[in-house]
Amino acid sequence: MFSGIVEEMGAITVLKKTLAGAKLTILASTVMGDLKIGDSVSVNGICLTVVSRTERDFSVEVSPETLSVTTLGSYPVGMPVNLERAMKLNERIGGHLVAGHVDGVGVIRSRRQDANAIMLTIEAPQHILRYCVVKGSVTVDGISLTINGVNDNGFSVTIIPHTAKVTTLGLKQVNDPVNLESDLIGKYVERLLQERGQLPKPTISIDTDYLQKRGLI
C-alpha cells in the first residue's frame, strides 16, 4: 500500500523485454535507503517487487498483463519515473490510500499555466471516471492528486510548483499517456452496495479495445 506521495524521481537504466514479460533496472537514491529484495515499490503508480539491488539501483520484473494495461511497456531507457516505497502504518498519510494496481491509462488532453500552478485535463476510460468526484482523490503516475472537475470524458487536476518539480508531471505534455488508479474506498463502497442489491453489478464489454490491451488481437 502507498500514499501517492512521490519520494523521488529515478531513471530506467536497463530494459529487457521477452515473451515472458520484462525486467527493468532503475537508478535511484532516496528509496535505496532500506530497500530489500522482496519489497514493493511504486514505479509511476505501478506496484512492483524488487528482485535484486545494488548500492545505486534496483531491478523489478514485469508481467505481460502489467505491460498490456499500463504505460510501462512504452518506456525507453533513460525515462524518468516516480518512485515511492510502501508506506509504514506509523507514518502520516499525506495523500490517500493507493494500492499501486493501475486501473487504466489516461491521456493528457490539455495543459495550461494558471498563476504558479499547471492545470491538466486528462481523458480517462469510463470505468475510471465512475469513481471520480470533484474534490475526491485520483492517482496519476503514482501521484495522489485532488480532482478539480469532472466531465463525460475526463477530469482536471492542479499541479502545484513543488509537485511539478519533484515528479514527472512537470515534464508531461499534451497527448502523453499516464497511469491512473481510482480511489480505493469508492470501489469498496460500490462493491458492498452491489452485494446488497442496491446497485447493478458491472458488465464487461468485450470490444476491440479490451482485446488489444490484453494482446489478444
State the pTM of this model: 0.86
pLDDT at 8 over 70: yes
Give the model's confidence band at 215: pLDDT under 50 very low, under 70 low, under 90 confident, else very high.
Answer: low
Domain definitions of the chain by residue range: 8-85, 104-195
Domain 8-85 and domain 104-195 have a common topology: yes
pLDDT in tens, 77-113: 999 999 999 998 888 888 888 999 999 999 999 999 9
- CATH number at 104-195: 2.40.30.20
Pair 75, 67: CB distance under 8 Å? no
> Grid cell 494500492 — which residue?
99
Q: 8-85: what fold?
A: Elongation Factor Tu (Ef-tu); domain 3 (2.40.30)
Number of H helices and E strands in the chain, helices first, is 5, 12
pLDDT at 202 over 70: no
- Mean per-residue pLDDT over the chain, rounded: 90
pLDDT at 166 over 90: yes
DSSP string for 51-106: EEE-SSEEEEEE-HHHHHHSSGGGPPTT-EEEEEEPPPTTS--SS--B-----EEE
